Chains A and B, each alone.
Chain A
């Protein structure tokens, strides 16, 4: 067992557990944050995607001991009121069917758009989306709507504080 002070969604969350415990289970079992989903346990499906310092990572294979001072963001933390432009786009396009993979899809999409904005190329192409999103399986097959939602969120996102380096709207 070991003690960690994890920074999750802007708050310090102390935990005391086995250092090999993946962040997925720290979130789900220890901190009662079930938004991050278990799908495969081997970084193959993306359902457990979170951000580590803003980068999309698979939390099911990321041991708590590897976090250090890096900041974790989960689906519960990307917006205060569930109104992140990506979340809004997901609702506007009525993307979800079963919905189980969508936390992970949204986390990958948010990271993609941040990266694109930082590179001053805020509107991702189909190829950009395929490259960033193909690690996230949707068993219901909502891929087209996810792509549409990402494209429609790309504009608004560049006008929010999420824009780290001043990307411009097309």
Chain B
């Protein structure tokens, strides 16, 4: 059966940038311009999960994102890898939101889209790491949600999900429509093909403003928050590492053994 899917993605600063470039100023994270935005790593897994279902069952994927000033080439990666449509909730008023206002706006957009079988989300964004938006959307839409999926199969209007648990996994069956939150075991997002990139270049994202999803600006972004960010800071760490030397790396290794014994650590 063809499956109608929505994949939620977020544009974030590249989380793989070296720790030293992350600097806080004025309660905000500032990053040098050479740190490029990317689609968050867990949303890439969500996209891959949707693409795998499409490979097997056929169907349609709509990528959905919320923010402002999207870099078109970055967010259009969702189209280039194989999504059929891209909807952007793009407006200044969407800025500065928290899990509550973000989940609410995404849920309203999904209500407007009306028909779907599965909503895929990543387990947490790569900037704020809160891990709440997906479950929030499911609560607002009153649909079941399965978290930490590493494999998804759709058969007879149900999804069979391998869900990661601390010492292994569970196989969970859920009736559709459902929201599935994806984790790393699903496999890396496939590369875009040349054909995919060319097709994406011709497609324009659909832009929805707050009014298009029936929300007032007081309900979204910073104004719609349920939590308040009081302070953003970086704890000071003093480097205190003692480097154990040796004539050769092997000797340094043996000297480390001596040091560990001497310090009674082992």
Tell whether A pairs with B. no
Interface residues of B (CB under 8 A from A): none
